[in-house]
Amino acid sequence: MTTADLVRLESVTHTHGSTPVLTDISLSLPPARLAVLAGRSGSGKSTLLHLMAGVMPPTSGTVTVDGRPAVSHHEWDRVALLPQRPALAPELTVAENAHLPARLRGRTPPPGLLTRLGLDPLAGRPAHDTSLGEQQRTAIARALVLTPAVALLDEPTAHQDDEHVALVLGALTAAVAEGTLVVVATHDQRIIDLADELLPLHSGRLEVV
C-alpha cells in the first residue's frame, strides 16, 4: 500500500451474528479509478460498500478513507453512497433531489449533470411521480453532484434499459475523469468490462485475478 491510496482495507472481517459475511479482506484503491466488486448475490458486495462508506464498522480489521477511519466520513463531497434502493425525498422534484447535497453545502450544482443522465425532461417532476429507473438515476446524480473523492454505487444499472445503461456508464466514466474513485458493486458485465480494477468476491473472500 502507498500514500497515494485513497481507500484502504486491512484484514477486514465482518460477521452478521455468527455468520461470516466477509473474511480477511485487504485492498487499496487510488483516486480516479473505476473499481468493480463483482460476484453473485450474497457474496458480500453490498456489505463491503457499506463498510467503505462508514455506515457500519467491520467486526475486525480497519477501513480508512484518505487516512481517516471510514466511520468518520459523513460528507457528500468526501464519500457518497448509492444503495440499491434510491432514498429520495418523494415530495422534492428530481432536480431538487439531485442537487440537495450541493444546496446543503451552499454550492452551485455543476451544469450538465441532469442532461448527462437523461433527467432534464424530468427535472421539475416530483420524485414520487417517476419510475424506479428514473429515481435510481436521480440518486446517481445526487451521489455525483459534489464530485466526491469516493463514490460507492450498488448496482447502478439495475432497472435501466440499454439506452439509460449507456448514460449511467457515461456518468461513471466522467466521474473517474474528474478524479473520483468510483467503486461499483455489480454483476453487470457491461460495467465489469470498463473496470480499471476488478475485485471478484466469492463467499465473502476476495479472489486474486
Give 183-200 as a DSSP string: EEEE--HHHHTT-SEEEE
Q: How far is CA 109 from the centre of its chain?
A: 19
Residue 74: predicted pLDDT: 66
- Per-residue DSSP letter, 149: S
More confident of the two residues 2 and 153: 153
> What is the longest distance spanned by two Cα atoms in the chain?
48
Q: What is the pLDDT of residues 156-194, one digit of tens each?
A: 999 999 999 999 999 999 999 999 999 999 999 999 999
pLDDT, mean of residues 197-209: 88
Within a 10 A sphere around the Cβ of 41, how many other Cβ atoms?
8
Q: What is the pLDDT of residues 56-107, one digit of tens each?
A: 999 999 999 999 999 766 677 899 999 998 899 999 999 999 999 999 999 9
Segments in 54-193 forming alpha helices (H) = 94-104, 113-116, 132-144, 162-177, 189-192
Residue 75: predicted pLDDT: 76
Residue 209: predicted pLDDT: 57
For residue 185, give the C-alpha cell: 458493486
Residue 161: predicted pLDDT: 95
pLDDT at 46 over 70: yes
Task: Give the chain's domains with CATH numbers.
Answer: 7-206 (3.40.50.300)
Residue 71: predicted pLDDT: 79
Residue 77: predicted pLDDT: 84
Residue 73: predicted pLDDT: 62
Contact criterion met (CB below 8 Å) for 182 and 151? yes
pLDDT, mean of residues 116-124: 97
Contact criterion met (CB below 8 Å) for 21 and 204? yes
Distance CA 17, CA 175 (A): 37
pLDDT at 54 over 60: yes
What does each C-alpha distance from 17 to 14, 56, 59, 181 come to in angstroms?
A: 9, 14, 10, 31
Residue 2: predicted pLDDT: 46
